[in-house]
């Protein structure tokens, strides 16, 4: 009886230990394996998406690209750490000990993958000392790395190795189908060309590749599946040449098409809400561009100029000024933007207009809240879903939100953003307002 009880307790301890370890990995945003091989539990995958076949096929192979919250997060970025981890799984290589990078600790969940791939010359640091594991990987860098890993995996296939080397000697011949090929870094162009010729790259819409943009999880799944789990079907003939574009076309309200869709995807990834990613540049896209221009200290006109494109391709999600756990809000009066923040990470950036004669600064909490259109107390006018931080000062929707201070002291936000903000700012939420 005592032996059975000890055995039962031991099983409970082991189960608890495994559960805690799994939770720690989830918190670190490490890849999560499905518990049931027949159901991979992607909360946001219906099976009809263009990338669904690749995602589910990878899951069948034990490579489950599920986020910590159970979603695929198809449009989310892939970090350099995740790229290394999943590539090691695809290559079926053992993890390695020892790290050449100062920012990769032996205890990090991706350390063994980074070490193993680095030892074989398959991944590189951003410089000799740093790997920057949490940095999003660009499309061109991912294509180059995946092709490099494929060449390593197929070392015994002389014809494939010869094809890759042949393509690397004349990359522009195979990149001719990509309008923005001049934007591909010289060191990545040969391997990106090989990825295109081998059919690894997702087909570019109207020839736009966006090489410097963040690789999405959907794109990564597709490339990984094509490279390692499908027969490679190289293109026989070079593609027809499209006009080369060294910059992207300026955009403004009314524009439509793949460039707008890319713009919306990029803004969304950087936490500037712009409505649905539908390829239509409407008032919501304009407001998101305005917020981006303010944060990056560019001309505030809600239009995507060449300068805005250049910033968009390399920008990072802004960081909060203050520090604190939980959900809170910061209002930057100098840049005229509002940040929603959760656990010290910016989750939303909204363009605002504060008081033309000033807005009260300080450390506040949300006090009173009112739904719908509410008459202003001190001036003639109406506020939409106001949340008061102090008497006579509220965060509220308003029909006019110019790029400069124009209110009577409140924090105006675009009407279409007001309802979501209202529910994201419950009573008691901390709000810091500063210049």
SS3 407: strand
Residue-wise pLDDT for 25-82, tens only, equals 332 334 444 333 335 678 888 889 999 999 999 999 999 888 878 889 888 889 999 9
Give the list of residues 6+ apart from residue 148 with CB closer than 8 angstroms, or none. 121, 122, 191
**Confidence class for position 15, pLDDT limits 50, 70, 90:** very low
Indicate the pairing of strand 327-332 with strand 430-434. parallel
Most confident of the ranges 153-162, 180-189, 309-318: 180-189
Provide the pLDDT for residue 34. Answer: 38
* Neighbour order of strands in the sheet with 362-365: 345-351, 337-342, 327-332, 430-434, 362-365
Q: Rounded to 5 degrees, what angle do the CA atoms 269, 33, 153 make?
A: 85
Read off the tokens for 94: 């053992």
Element (H, E) at 393: strand 393-398
As a whole number, mean pLDDT of residues 208-228 equals 94
SS3 359: coil
Read off the tokens for 80: 């350099």
| Architecture of the domain delimited by 327-434 | Beta Barrel (2.40)
Topology of domain 258-314, CATH:
Muramoyl-pentapeptide Carboxypeptidase; domain 1 (1.10.101)
Look up tokens 């010869």; give the residue. 162
Q: Taking a C-beta distance cutoff of 8 angstroms, is the pair 148, 164 a contact?
A: no
Read off the tokens for 53: 């076949």
Return the DSSP state at 185: -
Give the list of residues 6+ apart from residue 391 with CB closer than 8 angstroms, or none. none
Residue-wise pLDDT for 124-142, tens only, equals 999 999 999 999 999 999 9
Q: The pTM is what?
A: 0.74
Q: Where would I find the H helices in 248-302?
A: 258-269, 283-295
Cα–Cα distance measured from residue 413 to residue 432, given in angstroms and rounded to the nearest whole number: 16
Provide the pLDDT for residue 40. Answer: 67
Q: Rounded to 5 degrees, what angle do the CA atoms 37, 74, 280 make?
A: 150
Cα–Cα distance measured from residue 287 to residue 284, given in angstroms and rounded to the nearest whole number: 5
Cα–Cα distance measured from residue 290 to residue 350, given in angstroms and rounded to the nearest whole number: 9
Residue-wise pLDDT for 313-360, tens only, equals 889 899 999 999 999 999 999 999 999 999 999 999 999 999 999 999
As a whole number, mean pLDDT of residues 138-160 equals 92
Domains of the chain, residue spans: 2-228, 258-314, 327-434
Q: What is the mean pLDDT of the chain?
A: 89
258-314 shares its CATH topology with 327-434: no
Q: Rounded to 5 degrees, what angle do the CA atoms 12, 13, 14 make?
A: 90
Beta strand residue intervals within 133-292, DSSP E = none
CA distances from 342 to 25, 111, 112, 359 (A): 20, 27, 30, 24
Q: Taking a C-beta distance cutoff of 8 angstroms, is the pair 42, 71 a contact?
A: yes
**In this model, does residue 199 exceed pLDDT 60?**
yes
């Amino acid at each position: 009886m005592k032996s059975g009880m000890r055995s039962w307790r031991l099983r409970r301890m082991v189960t608890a230990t495994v559960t805690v370890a799994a939770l720690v990995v989830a918190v670190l945003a490490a890849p999560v394996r499905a518990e049931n091989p027949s159901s991979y539990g992607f909360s946001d995958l219906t099976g009809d998406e263009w990338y669904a076949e690749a995602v589910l096929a990878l899951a069948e192979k034990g490579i489950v690209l599920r986020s910590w919250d159970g979603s695929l997060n198809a449009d989310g970025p892939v970090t350099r750490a995740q790229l290394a981890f999943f590539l090691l799984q695809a290559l079926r290589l053992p993890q390695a000990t020892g790290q050449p990078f100062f920012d990769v600790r032996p205890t990090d969940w991706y350390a063994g993958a980074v070490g193993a791939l680095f030892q074989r010359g398959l991944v590189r640091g951003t410089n000799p000392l740093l790997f920057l594991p949490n940095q999003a990987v660009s499309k061109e860098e991912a294509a180059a790395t995946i092709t490099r890993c494929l060449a390593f995996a197929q070392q015994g296939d002389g014809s494939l190795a010869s094809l890759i080397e042949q393509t690397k000697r004349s990359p522009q011949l195979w990149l001719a189908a990509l309008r923005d090929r001049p934007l591909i870094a010289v060191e990545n162009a040969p391997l990106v060309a090989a990825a295109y010729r081998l059919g690894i790259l997702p087909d570019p819409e109207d020839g736009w590749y966006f090489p410097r943009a963040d690789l999405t999880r959907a794109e990564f799944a597709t490339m990984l599946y094509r490279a390692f789990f499908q027969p490679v079907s190289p293109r026989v003939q070079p593609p027809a040449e499209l006009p080369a574009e060294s910059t992207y076309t300026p955009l403004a309200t009314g524009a439509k098409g793949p460039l707008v869709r890319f713009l919306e995807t990029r803004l969304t990834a950087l936490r500037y809400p712009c409505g649905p990613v539908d390829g239509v540049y409407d008032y919501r896209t304009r407001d998101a561009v305005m917020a981006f221009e303010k944060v990056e200290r560019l001309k505030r006109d809600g239009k995507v100029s060449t300068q805005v494109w250049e910033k968009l391709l390399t920008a990072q999600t802004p960081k909060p000024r203050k520090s604190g756990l939980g959900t809170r809000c910061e209002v930057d009066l100098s840049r005229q933007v509002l940040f929603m923040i959760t656990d010290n990470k910016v989750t939303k950036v909204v363009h605002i207009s504060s008081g033309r004669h000033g807005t009260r600064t300080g450390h506040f909490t949300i006090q009173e809240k009112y739904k719908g259109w509410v008459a202003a107390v001190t001036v003639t006018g109406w506020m939409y879903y106001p949340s008061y931080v102090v008497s006579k000062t509220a965060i509220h929707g308003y029909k006019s939100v110019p790029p400069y201070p124009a209110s009577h002291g409140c924090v105006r936000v675009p009407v279409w953003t007001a309802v979501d903000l209202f529910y994201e700012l419950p009573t008691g939420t901390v709000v810091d307002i500063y210049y």
